[in-house]
Amino acid sequence: MTNATMTEPKSNRTAATDTGAILVSGAGGEMGHALLAALAHRFKGQREIIGMDVRELSQDRAAHTSASYACDVSDAAAIDAIALKHDVSEVWHLAALLSTRGEKNPELALKVNVMGSANLLKLAADSATRRGSAVKFLFPSTIAVYGVPTLALKRAAGRVTEDQCLEPITMYGVNKRAVEEMGRYYARHYRLLAADRAECTVDFRSIRFPGIISADTVPTGGTSDYGPEMLHSAAQGKAYACFVRPDARIPFMTMPDAVRSLMELADAPREKLSRLVYNVSAFAPSAEEIAAKVREFFPTATMSYAPTIERQRIVDSWPEDCDDSAARRDWNWKPQHDFNRAFAEYLVPKIRARYGC
Ligand SMILES: NC(=O)c1ccc[n+]([C@@H]2O[C@H](COP(=O)([O-])OP(=O)(O)OC[C@H]3O[C@@H](n4cnc5c(N)ncnc54)[C@H](O)[C@@H]3O)[C@@H](O)[C@H]2O)c1
Convert the pLDDT of each residue in 278-333 to its tens digit.
Answer: 999 999 999 999 999 999 999 999 999 999 999 999 999 999 999 999 999 999 99
172: annotated active-site residue: yes
Which one of 69, 172, 190, 240 is the catalytic residue? 172
How close are the terminal C-alpha atoms of the chain, in Å? 46
Q: Counting atoms of ligand 1 from 1, which one is nearest the CA of 209?
A: 6
E strands present in the chain? 21-25, 49-53, 67-70, 88-93, 135-142, 159-160, 202-209, 211-213, 240-242, 252-254, 277-279, 303-305, 321-322
Structural domain includes residue 7: no
Which of 30, 36, 214 is the best mutation target for the ligand 1 pocket, counting ligand atoms within 8 Å of the beta carbon and taking the most? Answer: 30
**Is 229 found in the same domain as 87?**
no
- The CATH number that applies at residue 100 is 3.40.50.720
pLDDT-derived band of residue 153, with 50, 70 and 90 as boundaries? Answer: very high
**Is 232 found in the same domain as 167?**
no
| Mean pLDDT rounded to a whole number for the chain | 94
**Is 181 found in the same domain as 156?**
yes
**Is 198 found in the same domain as 54?**
yes
Average pLDDT estimate for 58-69: 97
Q: Counting atoms of ligand 1 from 1, which one is nearest the CA of 221?
A: 19
> 3-class DSSP state for residue 292?
helix
CA-CA distance, 173 to 131, in Å (whole number)? Answer: 33
Structural domain includes residue 31: yes
Average pLDDT estimate for 203-211: 98
Structural domain includes residue 1: no
pLDDT at 16 over 70: no
| Poorest-pLDDT segment among 1-10, 73-82, 223-232 | 1-10
pLDDT, residue 15, reads 45
pLDDT-derived band of residue 192, with 50, 70 and 90 as boundaries? Answer: confident
- Between 199 and 105, residue with greater pLDDT: 105
**Is 133 found in the same domain as 263?**
yes
**Is 221 found in the same domain as 193?**
no
Average pLDDT estimate for 326-347: 98
Structural domain includes residue 246: yes
Structural domain includes residue 324: no
pTM of the model as a whole: 0.95
**Is 196 found in the same domain as 65?**
yes
**Is 33 found in the same domain as 180?**
yes
pLDDT at 5 over 50: no
Q: Name the closest-CA residue to atom 11, ligand 1.
A: 94
pLDDT at 129 over 60: yes
pLDDT at 26 over 60: yes
3-state secondary structure string across 145-162:
HCCCCCHHHHHHHCEECC
Structural domain includes residue 273: yes
C-alpha distance from residue 98 to each of 112, 164, 180, 283 (Å): 10, 22, 16, 21
Q: Which residues, judged by CB distance below 6 Å to any ligand atom, belong to the binding site of ligand 1?
A: 25-26, 28-32, 53-55, 72-74, 94-98, 112, 116, 140, 142, 209, 211-212, 219, 221-222, 224
**Is 191 found in the same domain as 97?**
yes
Q: Counting atoms of ligand 1 from 1, which one is nearest the CA of 111?
A: 31
Structural domain includes residue 295: yes
pLDDT, residue 134, reads 94
Structural domain includes residue 5: no
- The CATH number that applies at residue 244 is 3.90.25
pLDDT, residue 347, reads 98
**Is 176 found in the same domain as 134?**
yes
Residue 298 structural domain: 213-252+283-318+337-349
Average pLDDT estimate for 130-134: 92
pLDDT at 353 over 50: yes
Residue of 14, 68, 69 whose CA lies nearest to 46: 14
CA-CA distance, 21 to 18, in Å (whole number)? Answer: 9
pLDDT, residue 127, reads 95
pLDDT at 11 over 70: no
pLDDT, residue 199, reads 73
**Is 268 found in the same domain as 246?**
no
Angle at 145 between CA 139 and CA 150, to 5 degrees: 160
pLDDT, residue 14, reads 46
**Is 232 found in the same domain as 181?**
no
pLDDT-derived band of residue 195, with 50, 70 and 90 as boundaries? Answer: confident
Question: What domain count does the chain have?
Answer: 2
